[in-house]
Structures are given as C-alpha cells and as structure tokens.
C-alpha cells in the first residue's frame, strides 16, 4: 500500500503485531467480535500480539487472552435526537473526536502493526480514522482490512449511510481486503452498494466466527433456559416479555437464567429484579457475565435478541433458540433472524406475524424441546470464520514482510 516500511528489529518481543479498531459507541458487539478474532490470531501464532482500540465503557470488565491488550478510547453517548456527546469528559463532540483520533494515530505509530483490522466503520466514528489511514497509506506497509458482520442494514439505508460517511472512497483507497464474517449464500451485506469490481475482488466471505468456552464459570446443575438481550441497552422489551411468560404460566419449564447485559441498568433493572424475586427462584438474574459462553454451553435452549455475537454463540454451541429481533434503529437483527429461520437454524418471534404477547413467548419456550438444533440444518458448515481469518491474516502479513 505505502512506498516504504518503518519496520525495525524488535528484540525480545512478539514479531507480529495486529491492531484492531472497534469504535464501540453503543453495545458490546464490536468489542466482543474483535476480542474473539484477537484471541484466535494470537493463539495460532505465539509470536503474535494484538491491541484492541475500543470505545466500550465496559472493556475493562473483560479478561483478555495472553498477548492481547486494549486501549480505551474516550467514550461517547448517542442521544435520542441522534447526536453524540462525550460520555464523561464534558468536552464537545468535535474535541472528543479529535482526542480519540490523536490517540488512535499515536497508538498506530508507536505499535507499528503489521495488520490493522477495522470493525465495520471504514472511516471510523465521525471520520476519526481517516488521518491514520492516510498516514499509513503514505508511510507504512501495514496491511489494512475492513471486517463486516454478515448483515449491516437494508441495502438502501446502508447505501445512504455509507455515502454520508464517504465509506466507499475510503475503502477504494485505503483497504487491502474486506472480510465478511458470514456466508454469502446466507446474506450479502454489500448488496446494493456501488462497489467497484476491484473492491469486490478483494472481498472474502470467512464464515461465522465459532465460539468456545474459554473461561470456566459456575452454571446451574438443573436444566435452564438462557435469556439474554446481549449488551442489554435495547433489550428491556424482550426481557419484560420473557418474565411475563413465567409470571403468566406458573407451570412453565424449565427454569430460566437471565443475563441482563451491562447496559440494562438503573430503575429499569431494579423493576425487573423485583419481578424476578416474586418468581421464587424459577428465574435467576445477573447483571453482566463476561463468561457467558459457559452459560450458553449448559443451556437447554436460548431466548435472545438477534445480534451477531449471540447468533454465533447459538450456532457454535448448537442451541435451540428463539430470537426476538429489534427492528429499530436498523433492521439488521430482523434480517438475520428471518434468514436464519428460513434456513431452519432458529425460530423467530416476529411482532407482525406472532405478536409480542406473553402467550406467544410461553408457546415459544414450551416448543423449544421440539425444535431442531442448528446442526441439523447444517450450522457446522457455516462456522469456519476463525480459520479463514487466520489464513487471510497470514497471507497478508507474509506478503507485507517478504
């Protein structure tokens, strides 16, 4: 990409360095995906280290594998009118973005990564990545990859968003490859985008990212259904509906383990906790579990929202699942769940078709044992993502350092 290398001999340190950019203004998805990728790449090669640049306010509550670290970017919060403000610093959004951009570029210059993997936002939050991409383009042999989840949004909505963010010109100029963490036959997130053939030739569908139990955790010894809204920031309606099902039907089995997620808190969670207490142990609740993989592995079934990471866990642990997708501010989860239901991988509770009622949720939970497991619909063949990412990373880095 650039004309010269700034690489120098690194005595006594891992010889390969990978940087992840995860803008994380809301939720856990980007950070958890970057963490899974960093773990796989460093485990594959003990001479590899990784740093994740993340804006997630809960990054410090995760454990990171050996040779993986993170740098916390100043956080931002999206207001109801769609604008952003600094999370804690009392700075204007322009100054906060400028501060984040400076931290990103300094980290890149000091760390000198062989590979930069950018999650979803080609130009970064409010364009904060552009100065660093330009610097890398002119001065470095760092390879740059854009990683996309399987579904982004409706094609026409995504096209307008990418035009507003000048994403396509940035991809054309700065990115060596695009990795789609899904399967083309399931969904093409770039449908409707005016990408050149040169860019499409640089695209690789990796498959979904398989998850494993990496940290031991205590799980109930008796059968349970796992209820999880992911990060929880937009999961109150789903949680309320699941609790209402247990409230309405005192014979509903099995019991449930509810993981709120770190962003479902305050008065809303307090009200849920009061409802849980009245269920006399039929539902137990916890706020946040960074070791949620173990709870997935032990569950009889899952009631969840339709985020990318949760979907990967459903497939990886071969769990019968009912997905209750959000439909605002984007249709991503509904599109994913609808396609997955059509393939026989999961069932979906659809507001228009099924109704968001306690009766519908009771029926969904009762029907879980009769559902097919994802493996019966061929899920195992969809989960090659980490292996393909390792292969592509090796090819890019080896090509960059010959």
d(CA 89, CA 28): 21
For the chain, what percentages of helix, strand and coil (3-state, to nearest 5) are there?
40, 15, 45
pLDDT of 217 above 60:
yes
Of 92-101, 163-172, 190-199, 290-299, which gets the smallest average pLDDT? 290-299
pLDDT of 270 above 50:
yes
Q: Taking a C-beta distance cutoff of 8 angstroms, is the pair 1, 144 a contact?
A: yes
d(CA 243, CA 265): 16
Answer with the residue of higher pLDDT: 360 or 13. 360
pLDDT at 216: 75
CB atoms within 10 A of CB 36: 23
What secondary structure does DSSP assign to 24-79, as a single string? -SSSSHHHHHHHHHHHHHHHH-TTEEEEEEE--TTGGGS---TTEEEEEPPPEEE-
In the numeric block, the tokens 């982004």 are attached to: 152
pLDDT of 173 above 70:
yes
**pLDDT class for 12, splitting at 50, 70, 90?**
low
Mean pLDDT confidence for 199-207: 97
Orientation angle between helical segments 266-277 and 236-248, nearest 10 degrees: 10
pLDDT at 9: 47
pLDDT, one tens digit per residue, over 113-154 is 999 999 999 999 999 999 999 999 998 899 999 999 999 999
Which CATH superfamily groups domain 16-210+384-401? Answer: Glycogen Phosphorylase B; (3.40.50.2000)
Mean pLDDT confidence for 319-328: 95
pLDDT at 96: 94
pLDDT, one tens digit per residue, over 37-58 is 999 999 999 999 999 999 998 8
CB atoms within 10 A of CB 353: 9
Q: What is the mean pLDDT of the chain?
A: 92
pLDDT at 11: 55
Mean pLDDT confidence for 243-254: 98
Q: Which residues of the chain does CATH 3.40.50.2000 include?
A: 16-210+384-401, 224-381
pLDDT of 257 above 60:
yes
Q: Which fold has domain 224-381?
A: Rossmann fold (3.40.50)
């Amino acid at each position: 990409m650039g004309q010269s290398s700034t690489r120098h001999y690194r005595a006594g340190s891992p010889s390969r360095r990978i940087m992840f950019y995860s803008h994380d203004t809301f939720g856990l998805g980007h950070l958890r995906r970057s963490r899974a990728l960093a773990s796989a790449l460093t485990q594959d090669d003990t001479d590899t280290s990784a740093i994740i640049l993340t804006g997630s306010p809960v990054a410090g509550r995760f454990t990171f594998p050996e040779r993986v670290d993170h740098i916390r970017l100043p956080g931002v919060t999206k207001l109801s009118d769609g604008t952003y403000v600094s999370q804690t610093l009392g700075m204007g959004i322009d100054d906060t973005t400028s501060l984040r951009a400076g931290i990103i570029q300094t980290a890149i210059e000091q760390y000198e990564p062989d590979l930069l993997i950018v999650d979803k936002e080609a130009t970064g939050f409010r364009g904060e990545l552009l100065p660093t991409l330009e610097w890398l383009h002119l001065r470095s042999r760092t390879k740059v990859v854009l990683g996309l989840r399987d579904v982004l949004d409706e094609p026409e909505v995504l096209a307008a968003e990418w035009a507003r963010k000048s994403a396509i010109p940035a991809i054309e100029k700065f990115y060596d490859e695009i990795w789609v963490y899904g399967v083309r036959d399931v969904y093409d997130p770039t449908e409707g985008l005016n990408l050149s053939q040169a860019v499409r030739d640089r695209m690789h569908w990796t498959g979904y990212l398989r998850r494993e139990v990496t940290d031991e955790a205590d799980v109930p010894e008796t059968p349970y259904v796992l209820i999880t809204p992911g990060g929880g920031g937009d999961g109150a309606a789903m949680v309320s509906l699941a609790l209402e099902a247990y409230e309405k039907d005192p014979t509903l089995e099995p019991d449930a383990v509810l993981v709120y997620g770190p962003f479902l808190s305050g008065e809303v969670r307090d009200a849920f906790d009061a409802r849980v207490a009245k269920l006399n142990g039929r539902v137990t609740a916890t706020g946040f579990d960074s070791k949620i993989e173990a709870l997935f592995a032990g569950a009889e079934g899952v009631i969840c929202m339709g985020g990318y990471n949760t979907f990967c866990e459903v497939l990886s642990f071969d769990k019968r699942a009912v997905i209750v997708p959000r439909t605002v501010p984007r249709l991503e989860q509904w599109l994913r769940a609808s396609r997955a239901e059509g393939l026989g991988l999961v069932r979906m509770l659809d507001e228009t078709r099924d109704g968001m009622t306690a009766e519908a949720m009771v029926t969904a939970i009762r029907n879980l044992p009769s559902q097919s497991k994802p493996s019966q619909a061929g899920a195992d063949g969809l989960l090659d993502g980490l292996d393909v990412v390792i292969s592509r990373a090796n090819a890019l880095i080896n090509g960059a350092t010959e």
